[in-house]
Amino acid sequence: MAAGKPRTRIQQKNNAAILEAALEVFSAHGFRGATLDQIARAAGLSKPNLLYYFASKEAIHVALLGALLDNWLDPLRALDARGDPVEEIVGYVMRKLDMARAMPRESRLFANEIVQGAPRILDKIKGPLKTLVDEKAVLIRGWAGAGRIAAVDPYHLIFSIWATTQHYADFDVQVRGILAPAGEAHFADAATFLSHLYRRALATP
């Protein structure tokens, strides 16, 4: 579709439908397993109509990942140097857990891309993601140096938060298979557990 040309309402609607359908298909089948036919069918469009909006499967995937990564960074951006360090970090954990609950397909899409070596977003991982993580690592290291939290490696702290929260989206089937929860009750239990875990890890002697 021509860049810079204002979209009509129907074009905006179709574009949104394609991205929503692609999110469903990619999160279920991964990039390699997904097809344009599947995406078009899920969007309620013909394949030629879909190709009017996006030139290829990869173009759709890149558009999804670009929007996702920006949203993915928001909870970390909100870590505030002016706040109480423990509350700020635990608040970040809770925001990430809530994102896992509310956006499981997006989390699996991102995980699938990473497992494949991040061929379509490696530049963003080494660019804006690394820049933000470096910035927050300096903040966390400063809190630790001032004795406001325990001496922790800020990078591995952030990695552990990603692992313990995104697990509930990326391994949802496994979690539900083991716990057999009623609806999403297990997220409240996870929030209680993770809050306790990180408060203990961050507590100063």
Domains, the chain, ranges and CATH? 1-55 (1.10.10.60), 64-202 (1.10.357.10)
Cα distances from 73 to residues 8, 92, 180, in angstroms, run: 30, 11, 31
Tokens 């995980």 locate to 111
Give the tens place of pLDDT for each residue, 30-83: 888 999 999 999 999 999 999 999 999 999 998 998 888 888 889 999 999 999
- Please, which pLDDT band fits residue 5 given cuts at 50, 70 and 90? low
pLDDT tens for each residue of 88-143: 999 999 999 999 999 999 898 888 889 889 888 899 899 999 999 999 999 999 99
CA atoms within 13 A on the CB side of 127: 8
Query: For residue 12, what is the enclosing H or E element?
Result: helix 9-33
Instruction: Please state the pTM of the whole predicted model.
Output: 0.86
